[in-house]
């Protein structure tokens, strides 16, 4: 199913990590990605349980404003530039996204917006932590399939 819907690169060569739920998986990813005082970019507003997971890791949070499609690329880019120019201890390591039915806003990110965000993430060497628990909870007659970051990265030269 992962290969069919998300097409991650080199999936057949990957090890599989089974977690006891979505939040457990996200928590494990955060533990592997972040050290105390690292920067992480989150949407503003952000899923409150995700912010609770961050508490134990004590990262510096860069909150980026959203619109009707999620994180705004212009604000993301200016926030990253501001973090770099302020002489902070480092630039953000990761970017947390909920692309479908984002909690708490309910926004859905278009393919074009995903590509914009992905290009910025590449430019600033950000790891995208895509949390997509609501993908299969769409009420359209047919699932709306936007490219996720794996497919976008496979299509770029």
- Residue 101: the pLDDT is 82
Rounded CA Rg of the chain? 15
Percent of the chain at pLDDT exceeding 90 = 34
Encode 6-25: b = buried (16+ Cβ within 10 Å), e = exposed.
Answer: bebeeeeeeeeeeeeeebee
Asked whether the predicted pLDDT for residue 66 surpasses 50, the reply is yes
Asked whether the predicted pLDDT for residue 154 surpasses 80, the reply is no
Please indicate whether residue 52 or residue 154 has the higher confidence score (pLDDT).
52
Please name the residue that has the structure tokens 């953000």.
92
In the chain, where are the structural domains located? 2-155
- Residue 83: the pLDDT is 80
Dist CA 53 CA 67 (whole Å): 24
Where do the H-state alpha helices sit in the chain?
2-6, 22-33, 48-55, 73-85, 111-123, 149-155
Dist CA 31 CA 48 (whole Å): 18
CB–CB of 64/81 below 8 Å? no
Please name the residue that has the structure tokens 């993908």.
135
Q: What is the CATH number of domain 2-155?
A: 3.40.640.10
List residues bridging with 96 in a β-sheet: 129
Averaged confidence pLDDT in the chain: 82
Closest to 39 in 3D by CA, of 28, 30, 50, 26: 30
Dist CA 35 CA 65 (whole Å): 24
pLDDT in tens, 92-142: 889 999 988 888 888 889 889 999 999 999 999 999 998 877 776 766 665
Closest to 29 in 3D by CA, of 153, 130, 103: 130
């Amino acid at each position: 199913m992962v290969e069919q819907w998300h097409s991650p690169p080199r999936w057949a060569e990957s090890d599989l990590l089974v977690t006891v739920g979505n939040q457990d998986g996200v928590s494990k990813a955060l533990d592997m990605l972040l050290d105390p005082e690292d920067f992480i970019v989150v949407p503003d507003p952000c899923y409150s349980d995700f912010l609770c997971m961050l508490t134990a890791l004590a990262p510096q949070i860069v909150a980026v404003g959203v619109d009707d499609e999620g994180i705004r690329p212009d604000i993301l880019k200016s926030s990253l530039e501001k973090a770099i120019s302020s002489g902070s201890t480092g630039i953000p390591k990761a970017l947390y996204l909920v692309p479908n039915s984002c909690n708490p806003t309910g926004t859905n990110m278009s393919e074009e917006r995903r590509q914009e965000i992905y290009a910025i993430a590449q430019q600033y060497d950000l790891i995208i932590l895509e949390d997509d628990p609501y993908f299969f909870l769409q009420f359209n007659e047919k699932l709306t399939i936007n490219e996720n970051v794996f497919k976008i990265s496979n299509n770029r030269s």
